[in-house]
Amino acid sequence: MDLRGTELNPDQLESLRLAGPEESGVEAGFTVTETMQSGSALTVGVAEFADPVDPFLWVLQQPPTFLLETLRDGIAGLGDTPLGSLLASGSPAGEPARTEVPAGLFPEQQEAYRACLGTGVRLVWGPPGTGKTMVLTLAIGDLIAAGKRVLLVSATNIAVDNALKGVLRGHRHNSGDIVRVGPPQLKEIADDPHVSLPLMVRARLADVEGRRAQVSADLLGIRSRAEDLAELEAGLVRFDAEAYIQARGLVTEPFGDAASRDVRVAELKMAAREVGQSLAAAEQDLNGALKDRDDAEDSRHLWKQVDALLDEADGVEHAATAAESAALQSQERLRETQRALREVENRTGLAKLRSRAERTDAQAACGEAGVQFREAHGHALKARDIADRRRAQIAVQAEEMTRAIPFSDTEIDRRDKAARAAAARHRTLTRSTNSPMSTSRARARAGGPRAHSSPGP
């Protein structure tokens, strides 16, 4: 689709529908599953079975109050807010839970555990090794077992993973109860398909794609059976049930007198002449349809070349996006090493003297992460530059080729359908004559090699 002269913004690309020319049929149209914009050209993808007779691309417009109504409904659905009530009453600390605590906890750890299961906001502080992560892990496991919803956040990914690791090892949850959002640092969490959000999304998408492919195959099968039924109906156009009964009577019963036989023979000869005339006309139509189809063969090859160029543009864009993603990951690793180095350097007194080796390791890790980020960033910039230049070249080349193609995809498809319909009609009439020679000739014409003719100017 050529976007020149239109005001289609990126947000509207998610609400496209392929339907007929009437606005009343838009809701029953086909959803656009993917879009690719290159300059002023927009390429859309729909299911294989989507083939409206006169296709139009529609944009579903949302009402002006859509966002406000959505926000209003979301706020109305919040329900009871215990924490908000505590803040409004001036007592954010709430009440600790009156419950049994796990064995082996110190009094301070027991208090922190009950605070986690209670209401309000609590601050738990303690130096490293005092069991903060252990208490948090026990509390989260008990909350999940009680059917509660828990949001676990931290300033670093590794802190989230350490707490989450203990919860997972407790095996007090069902598959899908725990979802790790963000980039995990521990391999056992990143590789767990029941916890890692990217793996869960990938599995869901694979399942949906499998079902979509099955539905598409079923619909294509239905279309094929509909074409077979249409061909059978075409073969029954000249079928006369009453004449069939009479002819069957002549075959199964003794013939009547000579005059009756002569009349019947004359009728059969006339019918044979009519079938022969219809067959000749069908053969002429078939030859014309095959010639029209072969005239569009060169255009078909040119459209395939245009499709190959667009696939190449998608490939370079994917490569550039992958390089940029790698650069962002390298940047995140560099920031984490820099934060770790600042934490060591900000220590004072005896702690700073004891952390010389740790500071040296942190400096080395920071330097290595910096080198990796600069390499990844440079590679991403180079990949993006190559992708943008190549896509621009492809857009110009594809547009020039498109303007030079004599026949559109719609016209090529129309000629293919006309050739198939003429071949089906010819086969039906050939079978009615019960002539093996005619049948062989029709098959040779319908399925033989095509003669490519050069398109006119």
pLDDT digits (tens, 9 = 90+) for 329-379: 999 998 999 888 888 888 887 777 777 888 888 889 889 988 998 999 999
Residues 84, 174 within the same domain: yes
For residue 228, is it within any domain?
A: no
Same domain, yes or no, for 184 and 146?
Answer: yes
The three-state secondary structure class of 367 is helix
Are 88 and 186 in a shared domain?
A: yes
- In a domain? residue 250: no
- Burial classification of residue 321, based on how many CB atoms lie within 10 Å of its CB (0-12 exposed, 13-18 middle, 19 or more buried): middle
Are 102 and 158 found together in one domain? yes
Q: Around Cβ 425, how many Cβ atoms within 10 Å?
A: 22
Cβ(418)–Cβ(289) under 8 Å? yes
Range of the domain at 390: 298-405
Mean pLDDT of 19-29: 74
Whether residue 129 is contained in a domain is answered as: yes
Query: What is the identity of the amino acid at 199?
Result: L
- Do 397 and 327 fall within a single domain? yes
Q: What is the pLDDT of residue 319?
A: 92
Q: Which tens digits make up the pLDDT trace of 231-289?
A: 888 877 777 778 778 777 766 555 556 666 677 778 888 888 888 888 888 888 889 98
Name the phi and psi angles at 342, rounded to 5.
-65, -35
Euclidean distance between CA atoms 43 and 316, whole angstroms: 16
If DSSP codes are grouped into helix, strand and coil, which group holds residue 38? strand
28 occurs within a structural domain = yes
439 pLDDT above the threshold of 50 = no
3-class SS of residue 397: helix
Residues 303, 400, single domain; the answer is yes
| Residue 429: CB atoms within 10 Å | 23
Count of domains observed in the chain = 3
Q: Which tokens is 108 given?
A: 């301070």
Min mean pLDDT across 47-51, 143-147, 214-218 is at 47-51
Q: Where does a domain end: 136, 163, 195?
A: 195
In a domain, 206, yes or no: no
Q: What is the pLDDT of residue 451?
A: 34
Burial of 135 from C-beta contacts in 10 A (0-12 / 13-18 / 19+): buried
Does 440 have pLDDT greater than 90?
no
108 and 183, same domain (yes or no) = yes
Q: What DSSP line would sit under 306-335, residue for residue?
A: HHHHHHHHHHHHHHHHHHHHHHHHHHHHHH
Q: How sure is the predictor about 436, in pLDDT bands with cuts at 50, 70 and 90? A: very low
SS (H, E, C) 109-135: HHHHHHHHHCCCCCCCCCCCCCCHHHH
Same domain, 28 and 86: no
Residue 249 belongs to some domain of the structure: no
The C-alpha angle with vertex 332 and arms to 326 and 333, in degrees rounded to 5, equals: 90
pLDDT at 311: 93
In this structure, the answer to whether residues 51 and 112 fall within a common structural domain is no
- Domain boundary (72, 89, 113) is at 72
Angle at 253 between CA 249 and CA 255, to 5 degrees: 100
Structure-token match 């990844």, residue found: 376
Kindly indicate the confidence band of residue 453, based on its pLDDT and cuts at 50, 70 and 90.
very low
The tokens describing 396, both together, are 């110009």
> For residue 161, with 0-12 CB atoms within 10 Å meaning exposed, 13-18 middle and 19 or more buried, which class applies?
buried
pLDDT of 70: 84
Six token digits for residue 278: 């219809």
- Choosing from 162, 195, 228, the residue where a domain stops is 195
- How confident is the model at residue 90, as a pLDDT? 73
Q: Is the pLDDT of residue 291 over 80?
A: yes
Q: Residues 368-397: pLDDT tens digits?
A: 988 998 999 999 999 999 999 989 999 998
